[in-house]
């Protein structure tokens, strides 16, 4: 029995195989997301009730973005402080930082939002004598601080892992060059650490965006609260929560694509 073998110098790969390989990476998941978003969008454009719901719900978009961005900034700053405390050789700082991380991670997010929003932040506001009519005393500010301090515990561990991933030899080399510890951290350790933890920070930012919906429990009029108000008035629960899901999908997927682009950019030598 004879077998057919490719001629010498010819490519044994079947015609079109390379093309099929290239197309195997097509982002079908993105097509699926667009399909999910397309249905509410079509209904908004063609149905008066859906359009009314969208016009009402979208007014909460600015507060959702405010809570997300403000909370993430607080989480980054507080998280770095806690991470440095966790790595400190000072036993007081180390134990306080560890206590904070384990305390926050051991309590459900919703319970922690209640504690910060209704107990801790108002107590602190009264302590410093802030006017009840000021923005600092508003539920938006309270919940933004609450979400930020909650995520600070998780981001602290991300920062700690990133800083500890830098080889000690680089620190010693910087010290040998006459740099002080702060200069070594600022010029050598931190730029590499932040690059290493960018994917994890991006995931935390997306998670914080989704968890911002929990602040609706304190009547903050972000997207979820606006949806609850409209559906409670119109009883259009399917329409309301489909619009809400589409809005969150657009926000999270857009943010995810931006973060992926940025990660590829900083990874380029």
Q: Is residue 46 part of a domain?
A: no
Q: Identify the domain containing residue 171 by its residue range.
A: 58-267
Residue 65 lies in a domain: yes
Are 254 and 205 in contact by the 8 Å Cβ rule? The answer is no
Token reading at 77: 């700053």
**At 81, which CATH number?**
1.10.3720.10
Q: Which two tokens stand for residue 209?
A: 């965006």
In the chain the first and final C-alpha atoms are separated, in Å, by: 55
Task: Please give the pLDDT value at position 164.
Answer: 85
Alpha-carbon span 108 to 84, nearest angstrom: 25
Does 41 reside within a domain? no
At residue 269, the pLDDT reads 56
Torsion angle of C-alpha atoms 143, 145, 146, 149, degrees rounded to 10: 160
DSSP string across 12-48: -SPTTHHHHHHHTT--HHHHHHHHHHHHHHHHHHH-H
Is residue 52, in this structure, part of any structural domain at all? no
Which tokens is 259 given?
Answer: 């973060």
Return the pLDDT at 20: 43
Q: Is residue 51 part of a domain?
A: no
* CB crowding 21-48: b at 16 or more within 10 Å, else e: eeeeeeeeeeeebeeebeebbebbeeee
d(CA 139, CA 145): 10
Mean pLDDT by 10 residues, the chain (269 residues): 46 44 61 87 93 94 94 94 91 94 91 86 79 74 90 93 83 79 81 84 92 90 94 93 94 89 72
CA pseudo-torsion sign 140, 146, 147, 152: positive
Give the list of residues 6+ apart from residue 202 with CB closer than 8 angstroms, or none: 255, 256, 259, 262, 263
In a domain, 91, yes or no: yes
Number of domains in the chain: 1
Does a structural domain hold residue 155? Answer: yes
User: Which pLDDT score is estimated for 18?
Assistant: 42
The whole-number pLDDT of residue 53 equals: 94
Report if residue 214 sits inside a domain: yes
């Amino acid at each position: 029995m004879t077998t057919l073998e490719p001629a010498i110098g010819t490519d044994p790969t079947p015609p079109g195989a390379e093309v099929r390989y290239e197309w195997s990476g097509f982002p079908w998941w993105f097509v699926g997301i667009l399909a999910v978003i397309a249905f509410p969008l079509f209904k908004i454009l063609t149905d008066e009730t859906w359009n009314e719901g969208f016009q009402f719900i979208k007014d909460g978009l600015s507060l959702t973005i405010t809570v997300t961005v403000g909370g993430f900034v607080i989480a980054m700053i507080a998280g770095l402080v806690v991470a440095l405390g966790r790595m400190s050789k000072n036993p007081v700082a180390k134990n306080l930082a560890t206590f904070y991380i384990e305390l926050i991670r051991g309590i459900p997010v919703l319970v922690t939002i209640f504690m910060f929003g209704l107990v801790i932040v108002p107590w602190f506001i009264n302590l410093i004598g802030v006017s009840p009519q000021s923005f600092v005393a508003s539920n938006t500010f309270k919940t933004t601080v609450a979400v930020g301090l909650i995520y600070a515990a998780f981001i602290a561990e991300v920062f700690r892992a990133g800083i500890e991933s830098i080889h000690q030899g680089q620190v010693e080399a910087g010290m040998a060059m006459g740099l002080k510890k702060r200069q070594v951290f600022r010029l050598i350790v931190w730029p590499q650490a932040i690059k290493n933890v960018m994917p994890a920070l991006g995931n935390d930012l997306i998670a914080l965006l989704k968890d911002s919906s929990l602040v609706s429990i304190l009547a903050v009029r972000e997207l979820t609260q606006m949806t609850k108000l409209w559906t409670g008035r119109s009883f259009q629960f399917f329409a309301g929560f489909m619009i809400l899901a589409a809005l969150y999908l657009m926000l999270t997927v857009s943010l995810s694509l931006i973060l992926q682009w940025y990660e590829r950019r900083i990874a380029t030598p």
